[in-house]
Amino acid sequence: MSQKLPQRSEVATAETWDLTDLYPNTESYEQAVKSLPQEAQAFKAQYENQLNTVDKIEKGLNTYSRLLIELERAGNYAELLHSVDTSDAERQRLNALFSTQYGKVLSQLTFVESELLNLDDAVMQQAISELDYSYYLSQLQKKKPYLLHPKAEEALASMSPALDVPYDIYGVTKMLDIDFGQFEVDGKRYDMDYTTFEGYYEDHDDTALRRASFRHFSDTIKKYEHTTAAVYNAQVQREKLEADLRGYDSVIEYLLEEQDVTLEMYHRQIDLIMSDLAPIMRRYAKLIQQANHLDELRFEDLKISIDPTFEPEITIEESKKYIFGALDVLGPEYVDMLQQAYDARWIDFPQNKGKETGAYCASPYASHSYIFISWTGKMTEAFVLAHELGHAGHFTFAQKHQNYLQSEASMYFVEAPSTMNEMLMLNYLFKNSNDARFKRWAIASIISRTYYHNMVTHLLEAAYQREVYQRVDQGESLSAPTLNAIKRNVIEQFWGDTVTLTEGAELTWMRQPHYYMGLYSYTYSAGLTIGTIMAQRIKNEGEPAVQDWLNTLSAGGSMSPVELAQLAGIDVTTDQPLKDTIGYIGQLVDELESLTSEI
């Protein structure tokens, strides 16, 4: 079966997102983007050297926020437009237009934080106690020892388009330059690109097809390993330069500062999963091998189903039954958000040529969320959609109750609402079926998609990334062979001799955009830890736990991730929630083994 994708112009409009809520057309977007530098200049002329009283600080931050909201609106529009068809020249131009204007705008705004950090301590403390920007200002105060001269801050901001080029080059190489062509299995030829490999071939139940696709995919991306390594090295060396410039002891400390997370919390998340979850996931891997009658379990077999002949299919319309059924426990306001997401076209479903891989939720302030997904028709998509709607619900509640500067929670917490929804989906499926085979499929799905994806795939990324930054701190420059060796070593540590590491497994570092987003990868497991415990609270306690959760979502970024978790009744200053989560995964594997024996 050929998996050649349609062009963007050929997909059903009703299944695409509607960007007119951001701008009615591309002309109005272009006009808005071009006017932003002038608006920023006017703001600077009005407020520079004026932020010296609480009243002026409040007015200045209110105006500053409005400018940032417009900047965010434009940035989201450009990225959303581009991500669904990266091959379109006009979309590329419009996306590049924002990039060129972005640095011009930021350079006019850096004086705000520089002036706030040079305030008299008494004025700053008064602003923290009286204004609705207390957490933002408190966090800003922590940056004071690392502040550069105002002119240096302005110069760095103006250079941001150039400094962010590695991520852009990575995307262009991945989505435009790499041509996968076709591969052959048993005399049949198959089309391939990133989307079809990750959405169709990677977990295909035909072992010959799956393994051949992995070999072809790996052989193709390997041709670009030196370019990709050079681009990634430019990214991490730039982060190292800024960390040193600002006086941080390490790149990791520099990147964690924005998250308001301690080194202990960061290292614990990686170390405990590597030691305690690995044995449980090795049992799961052996179960995959046994159920699929494989002589050996290779790296490219890890994503296949325990029961490949049982994969319920689901349409977009049918997904509503599961989404509403699982998430209606969160109350009428949350359900109303879900309804709007479907009815007002917040979601982009189609698979089409040029569309980026993966799934995400963008949530521009003072608008609404936009969900990016490539709908395959597999039942597991219900989990993916529930996950992204978790982000949408979080930002909907946060933006309703918090100002812009305090609306976005720390990256450490941001995956908790999304992964919690996946757990609610599992609870719903369990509750509504007594069929052993369906239950086994549901457990296998939550392990393979939710826990494997978030606590293994992303965690192994995090362990790899930590090693990279530690080497960069020691003055190393990174090449493709070095990155391949680091990645292979991390995978071997986790899987031991349970999994045969096929040639190409080490190249998975080439596939993730997360490495260009700071210390993002480890936060998936942190969020899933909070999400797992919270889902258990809702299951066991009902409405009181739901109210705690809604209050936590509404708090947005007005407090630290530790305080947000406490609001939800969870103490992440200890390792207990993570140990409990790993224990819960062990119970799921126990039940999977039991159901497999029963069937």
DSSP string, 342-388: HHTT-EE----TTPPSS-EEE--TTS--EEE----SBTTHHHHHHHH
Q: Which of 508, 479, 589, 590 is nearest to 236 (CA)?
A: 479
How many angstroms separate the CA atoms of 294 and 207, rounded? 9
Q: What is the pLDDT of residue 1?
A: 44
Q: Which of 235, 258, 254 is nearest to 243 (CA)?
A: 254
CB 60 within 8 Å of CB 48 = no
Question: In this structure, what token pair is assigned to residue 516?
Answer: 């260009």
DSSP-derived secondary structure for 134-188: HHHHHHHHHTGGGPPPHHHHHHHHHTHHHHTHHHHHHHHIIIII----EEEETTE
Q: What is the pLDDT of residue 176?
A: 83
Between the alpha carbon of residue 407 and those of residues 375, 552, 572, the distances in Å are: 30, 12, 21
How many angstroms separate the CA atoms of 477 and 165, rounded? 18
b/e map of 205-237 (b: 16 or more CB within 10 Å)?
eebebbbbbbebbbebbbebbeebbebbbbbbb
Residue given tokens 């262009």 in the structure block: 172
Question: In this structure, what token pair is assigned to residue 433?
Answer: 């079926």
How many angstroms separate the CA atoms of 267 and 522, rounded? 9
CB 84 within 8 Å of CB 16 = yes
Q: What is the pLDDT of residue 3?
A: 63
Strands 347-348 vs 370-372: parallel, antiparallel or unpaired: parallel
Residue given tokens 């929670």 in the structure block: 409
Q: How many CB atoms lie within 10 A of CB 14?
A: 9
How many angstroms separate the CA atoms of 417 and 532, rounded? 10
- Furthest CA-CA distance within the chain: 77
Residue given tokens 């028709």 in the structure block: 377
How many angstroms separate the CA atoms of 541 and 525, rounded? 24
Residue given tokens 């393994």 in the structure block: 211
Strands 188-191 vs 182-185: parallel, antiparallel or unpaired: antiparallel
How many angstroms separate the CA atoms of 303 and 288, rounded? 9
How many angstroms separate the CA atoms of 3 and 72, rounded? 36
CB 237 within 8 Å of CB 472 = yes
The reported pTM is 0.88
Burial (CB < 10 A; 0-12, 13-18, 19+), residue 586, is middle
Q: What is the pLDDT of residue 32?
A: 96
Residue given tokens 């801050």 in the structure block: 153
C-alpha R_g of the chain: 24
Fold classification of 18-162 is Butyryl-CoA Dehydrogenase, subunit A; domain 3 (1.20.140)
Mapping DSSP to helix (H, G, I), strand (E, B) and coil, where does residue 189 land? strand
Mapping DSSP to helix (H, G, I), strand (E, B) and coil, where does residue 37 land? helix
- The tens-digit pLDDT sequence of the chain (599 residues) is 456 789 999 999 999 999 999 999 999 999 999 999 999 999 999 999 999 999 999 999 999 999 999 999 999 999 999 999 998 999 999 999 998 899 899 999 999 999 999 999 999 999 999 999 999 999 999 999 998 898 988 888 888 888 889 998 998 888 888 999 999 999 999 999 888 898 889 989 899 999 999 999 999 999 999 999 999 999 999 999 999 999 999 999 999 999 999 999 999 999 999 999 999 999 999 999 998 999 999 999 999 988 877 878 899 999 999 999 999 999 999 999 999 999 999 999 999 988 988 899 999 998 999 999 999 888 888 889 999 999 999 999 999 999 999 999 999 999 999 999 999 998 898 888 778 888 888 888 888 878 988 889 999 999 999 999 999 999 999 999 999 999 999 999 999 999 999 999 999 999 988 899 999 999 999 999 999 999 999 999 999 999 999 999 999 999 999 999 999 999 999 999 999 999 999 999 999 988 888 87
39 contact partners, CB below 8 Å, separation of at least 6:
67, 70
CB 6 within 8 Å of CB 339 = no
